[in-house]
Amino acid sequence: MARNLLHFLSTPLVLLGYNYVSFAALHILAWKGKSVCTHDICGKTGLPSSGEVSAL
């Protein structure tokens, strides 16, 4: 019961936070342009070749 009440009361705050982040991101994109849209995670420069062993 208490958990459901907590979820019910926190839902508007979570939705407001989510919408604020989306709103801010959309305006940053509109203001600064496509140059802020980067996704460097898929870059292969940081991956070792098949013969290398990392020295951890």
Domain spans of the chain, in order of start: 2-32
CA pair distance 50, 31, nearest whole angstrom: 43
46 vs 20: which has the higher pLDDT? 20
* pLDDT tens-digit series, residues 4-18: 999 999 999 999 999
CA pair distance 40, 10, nearest whole angstrom: 34
* pLDDT tens-digit series, residues 25-45: 999 999 998 888 776 666 566
CA pair distance 28, 23, nearest whole angstrom: 9
Res 34: pLDDT: 82
Res 38: pLDDT: 75
In angstroms, what is the C-alpha Rg of the chain?
21
Please check whether residue 31 is in contact with residue 39, taking contact to mean a CB–CB distance below 8 angstroms: no
pTM beyond 0.75, yes or no: no
pLDDT above 60 for 56: no
CA pair distance 36, 30, nearest whole angstrom: 10
